[in-house]
């Protein structure tokens, strides 16, 4: 990073602390640009999640949890492809922009792996971390779908709706695994 870039970033952080925020020079100026920015963000997030799901599945012990994580990995790979289709529909190249939220959620999940022994307690932690990720994705896809609808992008909205439904389904499956198997066993662990 150039020294002048560091100074600009520092100045922006100071403005935010004061309660004001001056936008970056490349900040979105309209809903279309905000939509595109959101697509770039979730595109990065989904790609990062494919790696994280593999790690979580390798560290899980519950057969139901492993199956749920692997199933969602397959869906997540499809989500990446769908996002590429949405980019194509709006005439843009599929580009990823680092998603700070997903990076933080993945780091939190890795922390759980480091702080727990392999077994049901770790499985419960993996479910908790996974559900936080799912809730972030549900919020993001819901917002992007609504942006697409507002912008008259019916086909993009339909694709985003399909992914939103799958994210909700993954969250529901994780809850079922937690309630029906992992959490009761973890409660008995000492």
Dump pLDDT digits (tens) for 44-94. Answer: 999 999 999 999 999 999 999 999 999 999 999 999 999 999 999 999 999
Instruction: Judge contact between 47 and 83, C-beta under 8 A.
Output: no
Number of Cβ atoms within 10 Å of the Cβ of 64: 17
pLDDT band at 19 (very low <50, low <70, confident <90, very high): confident
Q: What is the predicted pLDDT for the residue at 6?
A: 59
| 14: in domain | no
Structure tokens at 77: 């790979």
Residue 66 per-residue DSSP state: H
For residue 68, the enclosing domain spans 30-183
| 90: in domain | yes
Structure tokens at 105: 């959620």
Q: DSSP 3-state assignment of 90?
A: coil
pTM attached to this predicted model? 0.86
Structure tokens at 84: 């590429």
Q: Is the pLDDT of residue 128 over 80?
A: yes
Q: What is the pLDDT of residues 63-75, one digit of tens each?
A: 999 999 999 999 9
| 83: in domain | yes
| 153: in domain | yes
């Amino acid at each position: 990073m150039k020294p002048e870039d560091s100074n600009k970033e520092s100045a922006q952080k100071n403005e935010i602390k004061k309660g004001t925020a001056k936008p970056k020079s490349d900040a979105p100026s309209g809903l279309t640009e905000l939509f595109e920015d959101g697509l770039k963000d979730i595109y990065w997030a989904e790609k990062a999640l494919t790696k994280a799901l593999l790690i979580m599945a390798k560290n899980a012990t519950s057969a139901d949890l492993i199956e749920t994580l692997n199933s969602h990995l397959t869906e997540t790979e499809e989500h990446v492809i769908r996002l590429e289709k949405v980019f194509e529909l709006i005439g843009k190249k599929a580009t990823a922009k680092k998603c700070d939220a997903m990076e933080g959620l993945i780091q939190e999940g890795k922390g759980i792996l480091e702080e727990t022994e392999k077994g049901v307690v770790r499985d419960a932690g993996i479910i908790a971390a996974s559900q936080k990720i799912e809730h972030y994705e549900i919020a993001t896809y819901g917002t992007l779908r609504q942006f697409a609808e507002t912008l008259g992008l019916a086909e993009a909205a339909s694709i985003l709706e399909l992914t939103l439904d799958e994210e909700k389904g993954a969250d529901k499956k994780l809850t079922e695994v937690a309630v029906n198997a992992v959490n009761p066993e973890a409660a008995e662990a000492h």
